[in-house]
């Protein structure tokens, strides 16, 4: 069965420091992986996805993610955190329901960036 895990409920970072939000996955077949961000009282916004090709994927707002097949990980990264990056981050993997496939989400990681 397809699944993702986000091992940290919360990540605290100082503004200007690099940030990493962790995600590991378990799939049968090729992994299609996604990152979303949710600001308070808002819906989810798409950040980036890995389908195939280069292991380093670049996305919106300066975020990038590194796909590592041997470690079954897809960690979200940013070289220099901003206070405005504080939000809830979700990792997701494509599931197998229906003809198009659903998304299976992790439980989310709350990122807090302090000035």
Partner 1 sequence: DVKVTQSSRYLVKRTGEKVFLECVQDMDHENMFWYRQDPGLGLRLIYFSYDVKMKEKGDIPEGYSVSREKKERFSLILESASTNQTSMYLCASMPGPGTYNEQFFGPGTRLTVL
Where do contacts with partner 1 occur on this chain (CB under 8 A)? 9, 32, 34, 36, 41-46, 49, 51, 90, 94, 97-103, 105-108
Q: Which long-range contacts (CB under 8 A, 24 or more apart) does 57-65 make?
A: 59/35, 61/37, 61/85, 63/35, 65/33, 65/35
Least Å from the CB of residue 48 to partner 1: 9
Least Å from the CB of residue 103 to partner 1: 6
Least Å from the CB of residue 61 to partner 1: 15
Which of residues 46 and 79 has its CB atom nearest to partner 1 in the complex? 46
Least Å from the CB of residue 24 to partner 1: 14
Which of residues 39 and 83 has its CB atom nearest to partner 1 in the complex? 39
| Torsion angles phi and psi, residue 65, rounded to 5 | -140, 145
Helix/strand/coil for 48: strand
Which of residues 93 and 113 has its CB atom nearest to partner 1 in the complex? 93
Contact 64, 80 (CB under 8 A): no
Q: Burial of 110 by CB count in 10 Å (0-12 exposed, 13-18 middle, 19+ buried)? A: middle
User: In the numeric block, which tokens belong to residue 61?
Assistant: 């707002």
Which of residues 15 and 38 has its CB atom nearest to partner 1 in the complex? 38
């Amino acid at each position: 069965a397809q699944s993702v895990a986000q091992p940290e409920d919360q990540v605290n970072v100082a503004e200007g420091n690099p940030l990493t939000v962790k995600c590991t996955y378990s799939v049968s077949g090729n992994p299609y992986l996604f990152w979303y961000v949710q600001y308070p009282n808002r819906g989810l916004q798409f950040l980036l996805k890995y389908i195939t090709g280069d292991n380093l994927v670049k996305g919106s707002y300066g975020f990038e993610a590194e796909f590592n097949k041997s470690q079954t990980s897809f960690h979200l990264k940013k070289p220099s955190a901003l206070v405005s990056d504080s939000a809830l981050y979700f990792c997701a993997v494509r599931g197998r329901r229906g003809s198009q496939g659903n998304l299976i989400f992790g439980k989310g990681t709350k990122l807090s960036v302090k000035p």
